[in-house]
């Protein structure tokens, strides 16, 4: 059986994670879910990795949960509520793990990005997509809540409450152009250029001070929910003092002044 994930660490400071069930449009089954959880936990403590690129094999990014063949741990509506809750929590832990990683994550969305796939994408720090990408929150079309796996938290903060409500309450498919216009992604590129562009962005981040990058990621996350400007600036001030005192920062300032 082929691995559900392909990990490429061949570039300095960059780990490329490719979801690898292309025949199923990279729908998440039990094996992939568990491999993703292990990968995120391992990379989070790997100081040789400064940035992660997340993408999908074949023509899809991730079509959500594989409801046809998830695996032995499949939970149906007749299961006890506590078992269904455990299943939901295990799935919801994936985008939470992406957000919790100290390294920035660049999502390169190459095709359909639906349900759990959209949740993974939203957990990333930077999202770019190809012109072939589509996005959707399909749970509501199945009689379920459209608010799952962090989507009701992440999506309104990215595209605004009204747009998030439109997408989550209708379950409609959103094309690349609309995703770009609404701010879900920062860039659209042609399909053949997507991986290259994602690696360019990753390399530009990997070349910077890891501490400065990681403090910036945390400040962006924390200050999105800051009580006010004063609280946000307090965190910024502390982070800047911490990063300023490092040897690497001193070396970079010296190089900058010479150049």
115: left (phi over 0), alpha (psi -120 to 50) or beta: left
Q: Answer yes or no: is pLDDT of 169 > 70.
A: yes
Q: Answer yes or no: is pLDDT of 179 > 60.
A: yes
Mean pLDDT of 143-160: 95
In this structure, the number of other CB atoms found within 10 A of the CB of residue 206 comes to 20
As given in the structure block, the two tokens for residue 196 are 């290259």
Average pLDDT, the chain: 93
pLDDT in tens, 10-58: 999 999 999 999 999 999 999 999 999 999 999 999 999 999 999 999 9
pLDDT value at residue 79:
85
Stretch among 76-90, 95-109, 131-145, 147-161 having the lowest mean pLDDT:
76-90
Q: Answer yes or no: is pLDDT of 1 > 50.
A: no
Q: Answer yes or no: is pLDDT of 2 > 70.
A: no
Mean pLDDT of 86-96: 95
Nearest partner of 213 among 252, 256, 156, judged by Cα: 252
As given in the structure block, the two tokens for residue 209 are 């001070």
As given in the structure block, the two tokens for residue 9 are 């660490």
Residue 138's pLDDT band (boundaries 50, 70, 90)?
confident
pLDDT value at residue 244:
77
Q: Which residue has the higher pLDDT, 224 or 2?
A: 224
- Strand residues in the chain grouped as ranges (E): 5-11, 14-19, 51-56, 105-109, 112-114, 126-130, 134-136, 174-175, 187-189
Residue 77's pLDDT band (boundaries 50, 70, 90)?
confident
As given in the structure block, the two tokens for residue 142 are 């199945």
Q: Answer yes or no: is pLDDT of 214 > 60.
A: yes
pTM of the model: 0.92
Mean pLDDT of 66-89: 85
Place of tokens 């501490």: 211
pLDDT value at residue 127:
98
- SS3 category, 257: helix
Residue 8's pLDDT band (boundaries 50, 70, 90)?
very high
Could you give the CA distance from residue 173 to residue 152 in angstroms, rounded to a whole number? 17
Which whole-number Å values give the CA distances from 142 to 27, 170, 249, 257, in the listed order? 16, 11, 52, 59
Q: Answer yes or no: is pLDDT of 107 > 50.
A: yes
Could you give the CA distance from residue 65 to residue 254 in angstroms, rounded to a whole number? 50
Rounded to 10 degrees, the C-alpha dihedral 62/32/204/9 comes to -140
pLDDT value at residue 73:
73
pLDDT value at residue 241:
85
% of the chain residues with pLDDT over 90? 81
pLDDT in tens, 222-259: 999 999 999 999 988 888 888 877 777 667 666 666 76
């Amino acid at each position: 059986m082929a691995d559900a994930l392909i990990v490429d660490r061949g570039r300095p400071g960059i780990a490329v994670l490719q979801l690898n069930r292309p025949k199923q449009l990279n729908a998440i089954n039990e094996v992939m879910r568990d491999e993703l959880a292990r990968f995120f936990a391992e990379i989070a403590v790997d100081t040789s990795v400064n940035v992660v690129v997340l993408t999908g094999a074949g023509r899809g990014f991730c079509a959500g949960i594989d409801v046809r063949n998830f695996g032995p741990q499949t939970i149906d509506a007749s299961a006890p509520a506590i078992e269904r809750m455990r299943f939901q929590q295990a799935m919801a832990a994936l985008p939470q793990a992406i957000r919790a990683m100290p390294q920035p994550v660049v999502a390169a969305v190459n095709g359909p990005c639906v349900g759990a796939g959209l949740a993974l994408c939203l957990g990333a720090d930077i999202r770019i997509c190809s012109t072939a990408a589509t996005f959707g929150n399909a749970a509501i079309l199945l009689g379920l809540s459209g608010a799952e796996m962090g989507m009701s938290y992440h999506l309104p903060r990215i595209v605004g409450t009204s747009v998030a409500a439109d997408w989550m309450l209708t379950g409609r498919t959103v094309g690349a152009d609309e995703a770009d216009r609404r701010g879900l992604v920062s860039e659209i590129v042609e399909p053949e250029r997507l991986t290259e562009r994602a690696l360019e962005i990753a390399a530009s981040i990997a070349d910077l001070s890891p501490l400065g990058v990681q403090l910036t990621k945390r400040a962006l996350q924390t200050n999105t929910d800051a009580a006010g400007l004063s609280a946000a600036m307090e965190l910024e001030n502390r982070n800047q003092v911490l990063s300023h005192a490092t040897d690497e920062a001193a070396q970079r300032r010296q190089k900058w002044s010479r150049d």
